[in-house]
Every structure is written in C-alpha cells, then in structure tokens.
Amino acid sequence: MIHVVAACSSCRAFTGDATQFAVEADTVRRMIDELDRRYPGFGDHIRRRMAIAIDGEIHQDALFAPLKADSEVCLIPRIGGG
C-alpha cells in the first residue's frame, strides 16, 4: 500500500484530523478516487488545489503517474504565480 501524507490544513476540512493514509492504488488518479470515496469532496479538492510529490519529487501533471507499492505521496498546497 502506498503512504499518503496530507501536508495542508485545508485537507482536514474533508478528513477530520487524519493527515496520513494507507491507500491501495497504482496511479495517482486511482489514489485520488479512493481518497474521494473515503472522504467525499476530497478528490476534487486535491485535483484543484494540491500539488503532488511522489517519493520526494513534485509532479506537475501527476494524474497518470505510476505508483509503486511502497511509494510515499505528499499532498502539498499549490503555489500560485505568474
């Protein structure tokens, strides 16, 4: 199972006080779908407001990024700019 860490207080509005999750998924998309199943609305929040780091590397377009069984995924706030 992959280890997911939500490193943003805005996530707690969906998950209560949970900040770490074990999820069975082989892509980021499936991980988000599973988190949304557990915590309705959380998936949309992740897609719209969170950046995704997989094993310490931030991915710009992570939806179809593969995950290994021992991956660590960090959900971090997106940084705006222009």
pTM of the full predicted structure?
A: 0.91
List the chain pLDDT tens, one digit each, 82 residues. Answer: 999 999 888 999 999 989 999 999 999 999 999 999 999 999 999 999 999 999 999 988 888 899 999 999 999 998 876 5
What SS3 state is found at 3?
strand
Which of 55, 9, 19, 8 is CA-nearest to residue 28?
Answer: 55
**CA-to-CA dists, residue 41 to 11, 48, 67, 70, angstroms:** 10, 11, 22, 26
| pLDDT score, position 76 | 94
**Residue 69 pLDDT:** 93
Structural domains for the chain:
2-77 (3.10.20.30)
> Tell me, what's the pLDDT at 24?
96
* Contact criterion met (CB below 8 Å) for 67 and 2: yes
H or E stretch including 21?
Answer: strand 20-23
